[in-house]
Amino acid sequence: MEVKTENVQEQINQINQKLDLVLHYVNEQRLKSEMIEDLVSDVSIISKDAFTSAVEELDTHGIELNVEDIKLLVFKLIRNVNNFSQAMDMFESITDLLKDVGPIINEAGIDFTYKLHEFEQKGYFEFFKQMADLFDNAVVAYQKTDFDQDKKYSIWKIIREMNSPEIKRTLGFMITFLKNISKESITNK
């Protein structure tokens, strides 16, 4: 009988342990349930305040919302989730490309700046400025020329005109310019 009593006592102890576990689990569930109820209550208060604030702001700005329009917008957003995803993928690809290309563009900009400095040192910009001034003068001279007037020059008049300071200066410039070009082309060969 004593063996049976020990066996019964052991079973009672096991049942008590299991009952303690069940009570512990029930207590945890009750706490979780209370926490969820508190969370739902807080979210409800916050969402109610947010909704009230949103309605007041919309009313202040004179905006009326049509529920059907909002529903259609939500459906369009849901229907186009794949398109938005593709657009975001494209945006990420462009961002990655810009990260990769950025240093190359930076290096090209630096090289371009050095090349501009080299051109400036060689006098290209000053040359082009003077050529533009010369071209402007040619255009002004062309506009001042009266083509309707029939001017005839004799050989003697041409020779006298070539003796004028303006023509001498122009011919001297052209001859000096051509000589310098010839010297440079011989030097560079």
Sign of the Cα pseudo-torsion (67, 73, 76, 81, in order)? negative
| Dist. CA 63–CA 70, nearest whole Å | 13
| Dist. CA 59–CA 31, nearest whole Å | 42
Q: With left for phi above 0 and alpha for psi between -120 and 50, is residue 123 left, alpha or beta? A: left
**What is the tens place of the pLDDT at every residue in 75-84?**
998 999 999 9
Q: Indicate the domain borders of the chain.
A: 1-64, 66-151, 152-189
Question: What per-residue confidence (pLDDT) applies to 131?
Answer: 87
Q: Which residues make Cβ contacts (< 8 Å) with residue 125, sequence separation at least 6? A: 119
**What is the tens place of the pLDDT at every residue in 86-117?**
999 999 999 999 999 999 999 999 999 999 99
The answer to whether 162 and 168 have CB atoms below 8 angstroms apart is yes
Q: What is the band of 153 on the pLDDT scale with cuts at 50, 70, 90?
A: confident
- Residue 183, CA distances (Å) to 124, 126, 173, 186 in order: 18, 21, 15, 5
**What is the tens place of the pLDDT at every residue in 9-42?**
889 999 999 999 999 999 999 999 999 999 999 9
